[in-house]
Amino acid sequence: MTSTRSPFGRRASGVAFVAGAAAVAMTLSACAGGAASGSNADGDFSGEELTVLLISSHEGASEWLSTEFEEKTGATINPVIVPYDEIGSKLALDQQSGANTIDVAAPWYVSLGDLAADGAIQDLTEWVDGNDALDVDDFIPSLWKPYSQVDGKTYGLPFDGDTHVLFYNREILARNGFDAPPATWDEYLEQTKTITENESADGVYGAAIFGQKSPLILGASFANRLAGFGGEFVDESGEPTINTPEAVAAAQALVDVNDYALPTPAETDFGAGNSAWFAGKVGFIENWTDLGVRSQDPESGSEVVDQWGVTFLPTGGGNTASRASLVAGFSWVIAANTQKTELAQEFIEWASSSEVNAKLLTELPPTGIDPNRLSSLEDETYGTEFPEIQEANRATLDGALAWPTGENATEAAQVLTDELAKLLAGEGGTAQETLDRVQAEWEDLLG
Amino acid sequence: MAPAVLSLVVLGGYPLVFIALAAFTESSLGRPFQEFVGAATFESVLADGDATASLLRGVVYALLVAVVSVALGVATAVALWRSVRAGAVVRTLLLLPMITPPVVVGVLWKLVFTPSGGLVDTVLGAVIPGGATFSVLSHPVFAFLGVALADVWEWTPLIVLLVFAALIGQDAAITEAASLDGAHGFRLFRSITLPAIAGTVAAAFLIRLVLAFKVFDLVYVMTSGGPGQATTLPAYVIWQAALQQFDVGRAAAVTLLLAVVVTLVTLPVVAVTRRLHND
């Protein structure tokens, strides 16, 4: 009998082992680079280049920043745009590998502790403390500490304020007999349920719930409710408090609305949720305040111009005071091994300034940037063009819920997100059981 | 000999040594090999129900996808072989899924399964007017099967290619002699053709098994490992640990455990392959 020749012979067992190993081999390299800084006293950096790492949502802002900074200093900005969930690893690998192509980055503030522990970003404490021009007292107080500091040291400067508020479609609410947006999460559930029951056959749903399994997406939806119910991620001493009655109520509120949201929360990321909002297909969406700027811009594809309103996040349980939730938020950091520290400092000082932040708030096409300073929050142009958004943003002035930011905070956020995803999928038991598991893991990671 | 040794060291040795060192040390993304921790990371991973469940899920997924891919691949290859003169265009078209970038495959199937205007939802809506929206990727079982279907669609052409090559490499004289002796149709296939290509089919099954264990792109694009943990497969856990949580030590430990699992699952297949070739 004729048989086809096979690559598998006597050493087949060895082949199987190598195949198994090769199937999963990760190729990571380990080496490190050195640090140095240039010098320039008169602020003229003509001919120099700075590579800045940003997330895709900040691409519009990067174009504005590049143009303006080159005009101001003569330096060229080379933006490197990556997905929002890759910026931390991209920066860490760039520095750890010795490639050192990145000079400045704007990662999620929650990753500051891990990036600092990995030696991927510079300790800016001395520079910040000795630089009055930074005017750190003007940063919104509830943002300043989480967005900049880890264990008493300063590693970043706030860039994008990024607090969530509740947007609502006035026409959809009116069609369903509601003349005001919800003040509590119970009212939110009732209105969402009513809209979905009345209009889902026409493709209109009560709410878009960001539920994709990512800390910046599903984690944000939970954080909004945690803030509303008056809970905290950790207490004042940094000990996890993620299984308190307030936290359990927040998780349960997420479960309760799951069946009435735009199908389906587990698949709803920023793109899917925002598209439904701009198309006028959802009554509510929790989003960053800059969504209002885009909602008023038909060039951005918005079909809800002048049809929307915005309000504070609802409250729940015994809490009656609305509180901002710092679900995302991005900080300027300087890469540990950059050779251009002076230019990098010049850039982040300028890019985090009140003047720049105020410009970015109202720039068209929208830049996706939210207020980071008290003065830019109260900017006259911002107040004139977007008075409702400005008012909603003032919620950050009365304290805000922030994620933990120390070492392992990134993993802690992922642990919470994974457990919440299981809860929503019906795999995690009750909300209390889910958060008890998170509490136990957080005590190991953060305690 | 030297080039072979060098390539083995570079392609196999270095990554394995790096992974082993990372697994037994405290290693973060920016600072690998900080401190020797012995088997502590392995103990932590094995005590984590989600991590061990992902390994088990990976075995079920790989076996399911490999079996279906090989069954479809063999059937398609035989069909093509029988229409070999008219099959050039069809053979080329069949290769398209395999040469499509995996990310594009994921996006394509995500669009097929999307509950708002996706192909599945639209077809079901036409068949059952007024029915509720059907979301494949939000149901734990259907999401698992949905990712598996995309994987089968992408890689079955590889099986077709391998088996088809084996089919056209058969000794035509043997087939003709069997036909003259009265063997036709399924009996000819079962008694003559299948034994002739069995070694290749088994080898193709092994390759497909390993490819299925490695799947990451489809999970990343289609489900992010959800709903819940339903599609969180080992490669996704490794990516999450290393690049989302900066915990390279944990990623390396899961990687080594996965290597053990893959080896245990593939060893019997290798033994069968060897036996078929020896027969």
Tokens coding A55: 């997330």
Torsion of CA A103, A104, A108, A110, to 10 degrees: 70
Backbone angles phi, psi at A7, to 5 degrees: -75, -5
Tokens coding A282: 């959802």
pTM for this structure?
0.84
Backbone angles phi, psi at A149, to 5 degrees: -120, 145
Top-confidence range, A35-49, A245-259, A389-403, B190-204:
A245-259
Q: Do domains A49-162+328-402 and A164-326+408-446 have the same CATH topology?
A: yes
Angle at which helices A431-446 and A409-424 cross, to 10°: 170
A117 CB neighbours in chain B (<8 A) are 28, 30-31
Tokens coding B260: 């053990």
Q: What is the pLDDT of residues A296-329, one digit of tens each?
A: 888 878 999 999 999 989 999 999 988 888 888 9
Domain of B48, CATH number, reads 1.10.3720.10
Question: Taking CB atoms and an 8 Å limit, are B238 and A24 in contact across chains?
Answer: yes
Any chain A CB within 8 A of the CB of B212? no
Cβ(A334)–Cβ(A344) below 8 Å = yes
User: May I ask the CATH architecture of the domain A49-162+328-402?
Assistant: 3-Layer(aba) Sandwich (3.40)
Q: Does A268 have pLDDT greater than 70?
A: yes
Any chain A CB within 8 A of the CB of B200? yes
Cis check: omega of the bond before A314, within 30 degrees of 0? no
Could you tell me which of B259, B216, B218, B261 has the C-alpha nearest to residue B239? Answer: B216
Q: What is the pLDDT of residues B189-237, one digit of tens each?
A: 888 888 889 999 999 999 999 999 999 999 999 999 989 999 999 999 9
Question: Taking CB atoms and an 8 Å limit, are B259 and A20 in contact across chains?
Answer: yes
- Residue window 252-271, chain B: list those with CB within 8 Å of chain A: 252, 255, 258-263, 266-267, 269-271
Q: Please state the domain count of chain B.
A: 1
Q: What is the pLDDT of residues B138-193, one digit of tens each?
A: 899 999 999 999 999 999 999 999 999 999 888 888 888 887 887 777 888 888 88
- Residue B216 included in any domain: yes
Q: Where are the beta strands (DSSP E) in A182-281?
A: 205-208
Residues whose CB falls within 8 Å of the CB of residue A259, separated by 6 or more in sequence, listed in order:
none
Over residues B61-74, mean pLDDT: 96
Instruction: Quickly state the pLDDT bin for A144 (edges 50, 70, 90).
Output: very high
| Distance (Å, whole) CA A318 – CA A249 | 11
Tokens coding A438: 């998170």
Distances (CA, A) of A139 to A136, A146, A161, A352, B266: 5, 12, 10, 9, 58
B50 CB neighbours in chain A (<8 A) are 418
Q: What is the pLDDT of residues A342-376, one digit of tens each?
A: 999 999 999 999 999 999 998 888 888 989 999 99
Instruction: Quickly state the pLDDT bin for B85 (edges 50, 70, 90).
Output: low
Q: Does A257 have pLDDT greater than 70?
A: yes
Instruction: For strands A330-334 and A157-160, give the pairing.
Output: antiparallel
pLDDT at A175: 96
Quick count: other Cβ atoms within 10 Å of Cβ A418?
Answer: 25
Could you tell me which of A156, A231, A214, A143 has the C-alpha nearest to residue A413? Answer: A214
A28 CB neighbours in chain B (<8 A) are 18, 22, 32, 242, 248
Instruction: Quickly state the pLDDT bin for A3 (edges 50, 70, 90).
Output: very low
Cβ(A424)–Cβ(A254) below 8 Å = yes
- Residue B24 included in any domain: no
- CA angle, B31 then B34 then B37, to 5°: 135
| Distance (Å, whole) CA A428 – CA A424 | 8
Residues whose CB falls within 8 Å of the CB of residue A195, separated by 6 or more in sequence, listed in order:
A172, A173, A176, A204, A205, A206, A207, A283
Distances (CA, A) of A134 to B163, B164, B218: 68, 69, 45
- Residue B104 included in any domain: yes
What is the number of CB-based contacts under 8 A between chain A and chain B? 216
Question: Taking CB atoms and an 8 Å limit, are A410 and B255 in contact across chains?
Answer: no
Question: Taking CB atoms and an 8 Å limit, are A95 and B30 in contact across chains?
Answer: yes
Over residues B124-133, mean pLDDT: 77
- Residue B206 included in any domain: yes
Question: Taking CB atoms and an 8 Å limit, are A24 and B255 in contact across chains?
Answer: yes
Residue B164 CA, distance from chain mean position: 20
What whole-number percentage of chain A has pLDDT above 90? 69
pLDDT at B1: 58
- Residue window 54-113, chain B: list those with CB within 8 Å of chain A: none
pLDDT at A68: 95
- Residue B36 included in any domain: no
Q: Does A158 have pLDDT greater than 90?
A: yes
DSSP string, chain B: -HHHHHHHIIIIIHHHHHHHHHHTEE-BSSS-S-EE-TTHHHHHHHH-HHHHHHHHHHHHHHHHHHHHHHHHHHHHHHHHHHTGGG-HHHHHHHHHHHHS-HHHHHHHHHHHH-TTT-HHHHHHHHHSTTPPP--GGGSHHHHHHHHHHHHHHHHHHHHHHHHHHHHHTS-HHHHHHHHHTT--HHHHIIIIIHHHHHHHHHHHHHHHHHHHHT--HHHHHHTTT-STTTT--HHHHHHIIIIIS-BHHHHHHHHHHHHHHHHHHHHHHHHHHHHHHH-
- Residue window 20-49, chain B: list those with CB within 8 Å of chain A: 22, 28-33
Between 3.20.20.450, 3.30.9.30, 3.40.190.10, 3.50.30.30, what CATH number should domain A164-326+408-446 receive? 3.40.190.10
Domain range annotation of chain A: 49-162+328-402, 164-326+408-446
Question: Taking CB atoms and an 8 Å limit, are B270 and A12 in contact across chains?
Answer: yes
Any chain A CB within 8 A of the CB of B120? no
Select the residue from B41, B112, B256, B270 to test the A interface by mutation, using most A Cβ atoms within 10 A: B270
Provide the domain limits for residue B184. Answer: 41-278
- Residue B11 included in any domain: no
Distances (CA, A) of A227 to A109, A249, A325: 18, 11, 6
Question: Which residue did the predictor score with more confidence, A67 or A395?
Answer: A67
Cis check: omega of the bond before A264, within 30 degrees of 0? yes
Question: Taking CB atoms and an 8 Å limit, are B169 and A30 in contact across chains?
Answer: no
Instruction: For strands A104-105 and A164-169, give the pairing.
Output: unpaired
| Distance (Å, whole) CA B189 – CA B197 | 10
Instruction: Quickly state the pLDDT bin for A41 (edges 50, 70, 90).
Output: low
Cis check: omega of the bond before A387, within 30 degrees of 0? no
Q: Does A198 have pLDDT greater than 70?
A: yes
pLDDT at A12: 44
Select the residue from B175, B246, B260 to test the A interface by mutation, using most A Cβ atoms within 10 A: B246
Question: Which residue did the predictor score with more confidence, A19 or A201?
Answer: A201
- Residue B4 included in any domain: no
Question: Which residue did the predictor score with more confidence, A13 or A399?
Answer: A399
Q: Does A119 have pLDDT greater than 60?
A: yes
- Residue B218 included in any domain: yes
Average predicted confidence (pLDDT) for chain A: 88
Q: Does A380 have pLDDT greater than 50?
A: yes
Which residue of A12, A115, A263 is in closest CB contact with B273?
A: A12
Q: Does A123 have pLDDT greater than 80?
A: yes
